[in-house]
């Protein structure tokens, strides 16, 4: 018999911009193959903000069906301690500190069966569908197929909250196949961009360049390993990169802003036969001249989705300090303060990562 309370505090999404703090929402039930955690904290992602404001990739439009399933509890950057275990679960104990990949793979589709679980065809994820509620609640259920990783006991919460975003950062950089003679440009120095910068530094490229419209973020990018930082709002960064590369352009461009202008900028900046990695979630369509990709430059255009097989490396290297984290999680709020937390998560006050913390 479960000893957990019957109700909990949870932020619940009922529709676009219809988010409500529920103080007596049902605690998830633990099935025979499930794990229930008591949430320690949950980061707020740019995707959470765009979903709240009604981005079409979540809510659908005339070209696509809705991806979200209301009512749902948002949040996918979370961790906690096990408080209940299903009778069929092996290898875990009450009190273990754990986290999980955002994707909850089905285990049955051809992507899952070939090991490419992050592209699971049904594509259930934490924080957007009511079948897998997210971490902006006191308790969360991990189902049988959740991809679980252990979190070191001594890892501070502000570092542990970066496991999921830094996992996504690692996958994006891995997609870029950075070589030691590459000039690499990372556009965007928010939390995900900083994760890319600190990991890309470990690849030891010939030059690592960060772009951002906010000088404060560029300062942090420099601290995290960028050789050169440029503000597109203050100078012609395409010309600067061309001048630095004898007119050829950068070898690798990773787009991590989610703004259409960054896409156009990158296509103009990357060299012929270069590699362009698109990471971001966009709130609006991007229009580009596709002849740049084919006829003019024969580019490799690579997408990056989620964080497959990345958590063990990220956890180890956050823990040992090789992946820099200082100052990234800048503010934590209670669940009661969720509206203020979402406002600060926009970055308008200079924050990188904002999180909700539970007692």
Residue 120 has pLDDT above 90, yes or no: yes
If pLDDT is split at 50, 70 and 90, which confidence band does 64 have? confident
Cβ-based burial of 103 (10 A; exposed 0-12, middle 13-18, buried ≥19): buried
pLDDT value, residue 55:
84
C-alpha–C-alpha distance, residues 91 and 70, integer Å:
33
- Provide the b/e sequence for 306-315 (b: ≥16 CB within 10 Å): bbbebbebbb
Q: Which residues have a Cβ under 8 Å from the Cβ of 267 and sit 6 or more positions away?
A: 253, 276, 288, 292, 293, 297, 299
**Of 59, 17, 11, 12, nearest to 283 (Cα)?**
59
- How far CA 189 is from CA of 145, 186, 201, 271, in Å, comes to 33, 8, 14, 22
pLDDT value, residue 33:
98
- What does the pLDDT look like over 329-346, one tens digit per residue? 999 999 999 999 999 999
**Of 64, 63, 70, nearest to 17 (Cα)?**
70
- How far CA 244 is from CA of 178, 218, 356, in Å, comes to 18, 19, 42
Residue 1 has pLDDT above 80, yes or no: no
- What does the pLDDT look like over 248-307, one tens digit per residue? 999 999 999 999 999 999 999 999 999 999 999 887 889 999 999 999 999 999 999 999
If pLDDT is split at 50, 70 and 90, which confidence band does 63 have? confident
Quick check: helix, strand or coil at residue 168?
helix
Average pLDDT value for residue range 56-84: 93
pLDDT value, residue 283:
73
C-alpha–C-alpha distance, residues 9 and 120, integer Å:
31
Candidate CATH numbers 3.40.50.2300, 3.40.30.10, 3.90.180.10, 3.40.718.10; the one for domain 7-162+328-357: 3.90.180.10
> Which phi and psi (to 5°) does residue 88 adopt?
-90, -5
CA angle in degrees (0–180, nearest 5) for 178-182-187: 75
Residue 235 has pLDDT above 90, yes or no: yes
Mean pLDDT of the chain: 96
- What does the pLDDT look like over 205-234, one tens digit per residue? 999 999 999 999 999 999 999 999 999 999
If pLDDT is split at 50, 70 and 90, which confidence band does 326 have? very high
Average pLDDT value for residue range 112-129: 97
Cβ-based burial of 59 (10 A; exposed 0-12, middle 13-18, buried ≥19): middle
- Contact between residue 97 and residue 79 where contact means Cβ atoms under 8 Å apart: yes
The structure's pTM equals: 0.96
H-type helices in 291-337, by residue range? 311-319
Residue 164 has pLDDT above 80, yes or no: yes
pLDDT value, residue 357:
98
Is 175-303 a CATH 3.40.50.720 domain? yes
C-alpha–C-alpha distance, residues 53 and 50, integer Å:
5
The fraction of the chain above a pLDDT of 90, given in percent, is 93
What are the extents of the domains in the chain? Answer: 7-162+328-357, 175-303
- Contact between residue 198 and residue 324 where contact means Cβ atoms under 8 Å apart: yes
Q: What secondary structure letter does DSSP report for 61?
A: B
If pLDDT is split at 50, 70 and 90, which confidence band does 202 have? very high
pLDDT value, residue 3:
83
Average pLDDT value for residue range 230-252: 98
């Amino acid at each position: 018999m479960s000893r957990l309370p019957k109700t909990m505090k949870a932020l619940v999404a009922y529709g676009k911009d219809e988010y409500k703090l529920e103080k007596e929402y049902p605690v998830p039930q633990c099935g025979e193959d499930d794990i229930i955690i008591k949430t320690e904290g949950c980061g707020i992602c740019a995707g959470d903000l765009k979903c709240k404001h009604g981005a079409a990739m979540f809510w659908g439009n005339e070209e696509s069906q809705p991806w979200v399933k209301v009512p749902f509890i948002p949040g996918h950057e979370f961790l906690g301690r096990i408080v209940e275990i299903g009778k069929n679960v092996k290898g875990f104990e009450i009190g273990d500190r754990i986290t999980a990949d955002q994707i909850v793979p089905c285990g049955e589709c051809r992507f899952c069966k070939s090991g490419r679980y992050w592209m699971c065809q049904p594509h259930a994820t934490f924080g957007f569908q009511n079948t897998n509620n997210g971490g902006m609640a006191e308790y969360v259920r991990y189902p049988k197929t959740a991809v679980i990783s252990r979190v070191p006991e001594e890892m501070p919460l502000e570092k542990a909250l970066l496991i999921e975003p830094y996992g996504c950062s690692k996958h994006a950089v891995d997609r870029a196949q950075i070589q030691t003679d590459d000039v690499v440009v990372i556009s965007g120095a928010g939390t995900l961009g900083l994760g890319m910068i600190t990991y890309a530094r470990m690849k030891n490229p010939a030059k690592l360049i960060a772009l951002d419209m906010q000088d404060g973020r560029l300062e942090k990018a420099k601290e995290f390993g960028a050789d050169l930082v440029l503000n597109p709002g203050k100078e012609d960064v395409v010309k600067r990169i061309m001048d630095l590369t004898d007119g050829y352009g950068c070898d690798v461009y990773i787009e991590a802003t989610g703004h259409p202008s960054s896409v156009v900028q990158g296509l103009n900046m990357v060299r012929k036969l270069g590699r362009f990695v698109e990471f971001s979630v966009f709130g609006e369509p991007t229009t580009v001249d596709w002849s740049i990709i084919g006829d003019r430059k024969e580019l490799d255009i690579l997408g990056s989705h989620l964080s497959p097989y990345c958590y063990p490396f990220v956890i180890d290297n956050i823990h040992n300090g090789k992946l820099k984290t200082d100052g990234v999680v800048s503010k934590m709020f209670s669940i009661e303060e969720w509206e203020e937390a979402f406002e600060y998560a926009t970055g308008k006050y200079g924050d990188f990562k904002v999180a909700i913390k539970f007692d």
